[in-house]
Structures are given as structure tokens and as C-alpha cells.
Chains A and B, each alone.
Chain A
Amino acid sequence: GQNIDQPTEMTATEGAIVQINCTYQTSGFNGLFWYQQHAGEAPTFLSYNVLDGLEEKGRFSSFLSRSKGYSYLLLKELQMKDSASYLCAVKITNAGKSTFGDGTTLTVKP
């Protein structure tokens, strides 16, 4: 089976930095996606990693270690609008099917 673990909830302060971790044990690996989902809304794509290392995109960065089955999403200069759920998804096969973690709900406080 596929197993993807993320913390259920995190809280951070506006202006701070927060790291959301994701560990996975899957039958295959063809890349890892991070999505943001505001309450009651559709998930939207944030980042993609397929090789080890850090991908940076503005305030958001994502890191991958394939040997450790580990990724993290780093959010800098937190803003109130960053309060949302963050979903980690592993692409299992070349064919495009992905398995999602249960998401981490981030609350940003003033």
C-alpha cells in the first residue's frame, strides 16, 4: 500500500518561517507535489520535486530526499492569507496517478 504522513495541524506567527514535513512509503515514485487548499476551495498547485534538493519559488520552497522518503515545504515571511491546508502528493507511476496525504492545516496568527 501507499503511506504518506504529514502533521495534522501547525500554528505559526505572521512574518515567521514554517516548515511542513511529509514522509512517504510508496510502491513507486515519479515525483512529489505540494498543493495549497483554502477551506472549502479547490487545491492549487504550489511546487514539484522529482530530484533531490531544494526548489525555490518566491516565499515558498520545497525540498526532497528520495533516499529518506522525505520532503518539506518551507514558507517564509508568513502572511495571514497563508492559513490553509497543505497537501503532499506522491506520483506513484509514470502514468500520472498520485496518492495524497491527509494534509496539514496551517494557522497563521498575528
Chain B
Amino acid sequence: DADVTQTPRNRITKTGKRIMLECSQTKGHDRMYWYRQDPGLGLRLIYYSFDVKDINKGEISDGYSVSRQAQAKFSLSLESAIPNQTALYFCATSDSGGNQPQHFGDGTRLSIL
């Protein structure tokens, strides 16, 4: 079983719809992150959370919201989807500590028509 699980893996929806992407982890990490990746580009940080009561905006948070329901669960919502939010979305986790890498889920491919 994957340590970081994202659902759904693929989603096609229409402009204006509300969408929730879910992420759960079994690694026991406190820190969780949501990124989007557009073709040919790197990962851009949307939101991150260092524990259940901590939520922080990343570089591109407009149009997105998140909820940290438990240590193991971090969901990303698009309240009213628009076509330029079409992208590959990754959830990641990391342990605390300076040299701890991030561990990524398999991604959610989201298309908004």
C-alpha cells in the first residue's frame, strides 16, 4: 500500500463546479503539502500544514482552500473550478527536521472543461 494516497487519481469536471481532492498518509508525518504542476514546469506550493491546527498559504493559494481533518488527512478544495486550474496535483508529507525530504503521492490529474 502506498504511504501517501491521493484520491481521485483522475477527474474531469466542468467550470464552476466544487471539487475536493483528498490526501491521506500512513507515514506518521506532521507536515503535509499541496502542489500543482503544469506541463514543463516545476512544483508550485498551494498550501501547507505543519500540524492539525496549522494552515499556511503557499505561493499560489488564490482559488483554493484546504482542511487538515487529522494528522493523516489533508484535503484540497476548488470552490468554483476554472479551466486554468487544469493541472497535475501532488500531495506530499515530510517529517520535521532540517534534512527530511518530502514524500509524494501519485498525483491527481484534474481537467476542467
Chain A: residues with CB nearer than 8 A to chain B?
4, 8, 30-31, 33, 35, 40-45, 48, 50, 87, 89, 91, 94-103
Contact = CB atoms under 8 A, between A and B. Distances in A.
A27 to B, nearest CB: 12
A87 B50 CA distance: 23
A100 to B, nearest CB: 4
A102 B101 contact: no
A35 B94 CA distance: 14
Contacts of A101: 42
| A8, A96, A98 interface centre (most CB from chain B within 10 Å) | A96
B107 A100 contact: no
B104 A44 contact: yes
A96 B106 CA distance: 21
Given A43-B102, A45-B102, A98-B45, 14 more contacts: A30-B98, A35-B101, A42-B90, A42-B106, A44-B104, A45-B103, A48-B101, A96-B48, A96-B94, A97-B45, A98-B102, A99-B45, A99-B59, A101-B42
Contacts of A41: 106-107
Given A41-B106, A45-B103, A48-B101, A96 B96 contact: yes
Given A87-B42, A97-B45, A50 B102 contact: no
B50 A95 contact: yes
Contact of B48 (A44, A97, A103): A97
Contacts of B35: 100
Q: Chain A interface secondary structure, helix, strand, loop or mixed?
A: loop
Nearest to A103: B42
Interface in B22-65: 31, 35, 40-45, 48, 50, 56, 58-59
| B43, B59, B90, B100 interface centre (most CB from chain A within 10 Å) | B43
Interface string B84-112: 00000010001010111111111100000
Contacts of A45: 101-103
Interface in B63-95: 90, 94
